[in-house]
A and B are shown apart, each in its own frame.
Chain A
Amino acid sequence: MSEHDQVSFGETEERKMLKDTLRRFLSDAYTDEQRMSSLSAGHELSTGIWSQLAELGVLQALFGEDVGGMGGHGFDIVTVFEELGRAGVVEPVLENTVLAGGLIADLGTNDQHALLLEVMSGSHQFAFAHTEPGGRYDLTHITTTAVENGQGFVLSGHKAVVSNASSAHTLIVSARTSDAADSEQGVSLFLVPAGQSGLSMRGYPKIDGGFAAEIELNNVKLPADALLGQLGLAFPAIEARVSMAIAAISAEALGAMEAAKELTIGYLQTRTQFGHPIGKFQVLQHRMANVLIEIEQARSAVLNLAAVLDKGRMQRERNASATKNLIGRTGRLVAEECIQMHGGIGMTQEYALAHFARRLVMVDHEFGDTDHHLERFIALSQARMSAHDQ
């Protein structure tokens, strides 16, 4: 049953070095003050941190060697994102690399691949505009249309809660070139420059940090070479990249859980009430022990998904749903328990736990929540069983 043929769980010398370097860098550079400044920086990215992440090779580690990167495998992704989560980084690494950058890497022409070097060097920003109002977490729910007009394409539609849209130079927009909404067929991807005529955007902060936007596409005219990948055949790449994104934010959540746990243990050891550190009260000891057990389960779930990201779709998707369901449950538990064990202080804005707790809960609202993935896991498991029966 295990997804791990080897007992290394993806750990290599290179990844260990990457993890150590990144943890050292972030613990020095990504202080609570830095996060506060990133959160209040408006739509402008805090360029200092962003270019430092690029210089460290963090963005490169998330791309394959074939496009000029230095990694891009499942275990590279979860290694990087766990550290980003542990430090509470709010910069749009996911949007630029695993999602938009990854789609270009998977589907792009050589000319389009050239853009990736700019992403890896930190000079070009991307966003992936896919979700639509009313689509909830269904990946196939695409009603935005792209119509061929002889010179290229004309796009119309509405995209919802597009992360990093307002900082992006280029958006990757999914649109339907044929078939009915909710079909996996007939989905195409387009590279849309941020300033393109007919494109309008309404930006806003996300409650857990960073920015997103609602996007209107009103007869946006694009040249033929704006198409990314083959016409109508983009869905498999979207599914694979969203599974990778699920691995990434699950690992990010794992890092945030570790950080929340550390803060809470520190508090239990130092906060004195009734003449004792509150960590001496058995009821809190047991609850903290449960938190630890569930975080270890979360770590295993992240490893399970990292191990199968390059496997067949059924195995990947089923594991993505298993992991996201578990992370949704555990993220909520860790956030709520860590706040409760702190008491009032755990609810204050200036204390770092507030950020980790918000992020842990809101991870459940990206790429499908606990229930969505439970339903999906059951459906995929049943499909797998009937495939075995035949």
Chain B
Amino acid sequence: MKEQIDLQQFRNEVRQFLDSKLPVRISKKVRLGQRMTKADYEEWHAILNARGWLAVNWPVEYGGTGWSAHQRLIFEEESCAANAPRILPFGLMMLGPVLQKFGSEAQRNWFLPRILNGEHWWCQGYSEPGAGSDLASLKTRAVREDNHYVVNGQKTWTTLGQHANWIFCLVRTNTEVKPQAGISFLLIDMTTPGVVVRPILLLDGEAEVNEVFFDDVRVPVENLVGEENLGWTYAKYLLTHERTNIAGTGFAKAGLDAVRRIAGQEMAGGKPLIENPYFAARLAQVEIDLMAMETTNLRVIAQVAAGQAPGVESSMLKIKGTELRQQINDLTRRAVGPYAIPFVSEALDEGFNAQPVGPEYAAPVAAQYFNNRKLTIYGGSNEVQRTIIAKQVLDL
């Protein structure tokens, strides 16, 4: 019982913090689905960092919170409910844990504080045009010359790479062995000559992802993480951390609340849409699934608390969580009816003060629906996750 009481106290503490420290300007943007700028993320990260709550999954010794998985879940739920921006995962959730486990002391001392204070904005250099689901087939080459690696190749789908000044990359350092055994994990300063970032426009019209090109980029050998040719091991370790809270229940609950509010305001046949039995049935179905998934998620968290590493469960939660969130996007799109059609791009910028077209909440929903098709593609597509389950659990 003690732990439950503590968690309730913790939840209250998080709520009070969000209530007093989350800028209204920023939460309004999140609520209206407006574009987050680099400065918005930096502002929110700095506020969290000042409270010591930025690195939610780092141990205290590195400046993290030292929170349990359950505390992190509560923090995510409350942050989503308060319309806080998401914490960008690249430095904090992905690279940080890898450096803590495999990095040199010099690397930890240099990079970790700069992740926290925002001096370094990291992006992820994994996928390549020819290496998506089959990541191990990556071709970006790093050749050792004296005290440098010379890197040539191309990365793609680099999220928010346009804002980043550092990129962690998987590169090929040995072509003679089986693909997984010739990969190294390299940290690259993006201001080095030969690095070029080009935006990719997605189907919602946004430039969220990029291609990153490397042309004879010279990287000091000190920026190799761990040992040469062991990068695949580190990458797999990173993936298990990327999937911490992969279920995204906080996002799903906030999304479902938003649909409910919208459906209470939309009218269908003279009554609020939420009273329409067909829409209500769709909403109920998603809610029922979410109720079960929250418990599935808590069961996994309890296993972690008992000392078991999250293994294949994270694949299950990734599949279920992303598909549920996509269904919520789909419900939201349906809820706004004909007003899903207008696409006033300026309305997604802060400071848009013209009269909205239709209800204010309608502006981003179609674009969000299309954008979130990415959820089942990135971080190891859901097909890849199912294969992992089939192999590792079902032994097929």
Instruction: Say whether A associates with B.
Output: yes
Chain A interface residues (CB < 8 Å from chain B): 131, 133-134, 136-138, 160-161, 182, 202, 204-208, 212, 214, 272-274, 278, 283-284, 332, 336, 339-340, 343-344, 346-350, 354, 357-358, 361-362, 364-366, 369-372, 374-375
User: Which residue of A204, A278, A350, A362 contacts B340 across the interface (Cβ within 8 Å)?
Assistant: A362
Knowing that A361-B370, A371-B278 touch, tell me 9 more A-B residue pairs with CB under 8 angstroms: A136-B337, A161-B341, A202-B355, A205-B344, A340-B377, A349-B200, A349-B201, A362-B341, A362-B366
Given A136-B266, A204-B344, are A348 and B201 neighbors across the interface (CB < 8 Å)? yes
Check A357–B203 contact: CB distance below 8 A: yes
CA distance A161 to B269 in the complex (A): 19
Given A136-B268, A205-B343, are A369 and B334 neighbors across the interface (CB < 8 Å)? yes
Residue from A347, A348, A358 with most neighbouring chain B CB atoms (10 Å)? A347
Check A365–B383 contact: CB distance below 8 A: no
Is B282 interfacial (CB-CB < 8 Å)?
yes
Q: Chain B contacts of A347 at CB under 8 A?
A: 202-203, 370, 373-374, 377
Given A207-B366, A347-B373, A362-B366, are A160 and B202 neighbors across the interface (CB < 8 Å)? no
Q: Which secondary structure dominates where chain B touches chain A?
A: mixed
Task: List the A residue with the shortest CB-CB distance to B282.
Answer: A371
Q: Chain A contacts of B52 at CB under 8 A?
A: none
Contact with A along B351-387 (1 / 0, CB 8 A): 0000101100000001101100110111001110010
State the Cβ distance, B198 to closest chain A Cβ, in Å: 12
Name the segment of B2-10, B110-118, B130-138, B214-222 touching the other chain: B130-138
Given A273-B137, A362-B366, are A137 and B338 neighbors across the interface (CB < 8 Å)? yes
Task: List the B residue with the shortest CB-CB distance to A273.
Answer: B134
Contact with A along B104-148 (1 / 0, CB 8 A): 000000000000000000000001001011100100000000000
- Supply 21 A–B pairs (Cβ within 8 Å), ascending by A: A160-B339, A161-B342, A207-B370, A208-B341, A273-B134, A274-B137, A283-B383, A283-B386, A339-B377, A340-B377, A343-B132, A343-B377, A344-B127, A344-B157, A346-B373, A348-B200, A354-B202, A365-B340, A371-B282, A375-B276, A375-B278
4 smallest CB-CB distances across A and B, nearest first, come from A354-B203, A349-B201, A207-B343, A273-B134
Check B340–A339 contact: CB distance below 8 A: no
Given A204-B343, A347-B373, are A214 and B357 neighbors across the interface (CB < 8 Å)? yes
Interface size of B by Cβ–Cβ distance < 8 Å?
52
CA distance A341 to B340 in the complex (A): 25
Q: Chain B contacts of A358 at CB under 8 A?
A: 203, 370
How many A-B contacts are there with CB distance less than 8 Å?
A: 133
Contact with A along B327-352 (1 / 0, CB 8 A): 00010011001111111110000000
CA distance A344 to B201 in the complex (A): 11
Check B270–A131 contact: CB distance below 8 A: no
Q: Chain B contacts of A278 at CB under 8 A?
A: 133
Task: List the A residue with the shortest CB-CB distance to B208.
Answer: A347
Residue from B268, B337, B343, B378 with most neighbouring chain A CB atoms (10 Å)? B337
State the Cβ distance, B185 to closest chain A Cβ, in Å: 22
Given A349-B201, A357-B203, are A343 and B381 neighbors across the interface (CB < 8 Å)? yes
CA distance A354 to B361 in the complex (A): 24
Check A369–B337 contact: CB distance below 8 A: yes
State the Cβ distance, A143 to closest chain B Cβ, in Å: 12
CA distance A225 to B280 in the complex (A): 46
Is B156 interfacial (CB-CB < 8 Å)?
yes
Task: List the A residue with the shortest CB-CB distance to B371.
Answer: A347
